[in-house]
Structure 1
């Protein structure tokens, strides 16, 4: 396997920038243009802060490039980090549903190696499945403990970690 250069798709980033900017405008404009009572102002300010944080998060995702190689996963950008697969000690794969029947949603992978910072990527990232497969192989090799939820989410992607199968 050669090193792969992975980024979030432009379409996803544009949609997130649009959502964040719309939220900032809709929450900030009334604060600037109208005389609102303090309770409404507090709600609008809280919304403005949340959308501003989302805008910053989107900008960070836009600036970050992920390099996947057989030995490492490197997040190159603001707040970058490096995970060495042979030292992997943390792996968590979470599913976040957007519908009550769990038919739609996204996954988030968190991986870390001994002494290193955690890298979090979500399923919108190009090559997400490749990263999850490599992380699962590393977890198998290092014996990193996996939660029941992580094992179930790996199985839903068609990935089984030997030694971490569900016991009945």
Structure 2
């Protein structure tokens, strides 16, 4: 029986909003709970990916978190076929860019995350974090959940 994705999203988005998780951690934790994966490596394995690869505003942490989930779902054992995970990841990236318009934090937000004043405005209630980042997490997790459900 599949878990309630929306309830899982709400639980982890609340932690994301409270700055207890970053975007990559949030996305990976949502997907792991949805898939029934429990590992002491989660969220730790995703920590350095937040803020666009270690806060550099490169590839969005939501994307990297979703790609880690793709690996958990469709990844290979040593010497196995990597095509299923790559296909799932490639489809996700194409869908994300088509839906969100960019792949990088800077491209998605337009905000210099190293500027404390800009970040305070961005993280204010109703600001860019709520409108952009939360919606990216929600879209990515819904997309990945649908793809995972198709595989089952």
* TM-score of the alignment, normalized to the shorter chain, above 0.5: no
TM-score w.r.t. length of structure 1: 0.25
Q: Highest relative contact order (Cα 8 Å, sep 6+), 1 or 2? A: 2
Report the structure, 1 or 2, having the larger strand content. Answer: 1
Report which of the two structures shows the higher radius of gyration computed on alpha carbons.
1
TM-score w.r.t. length of structure 2: 0.28
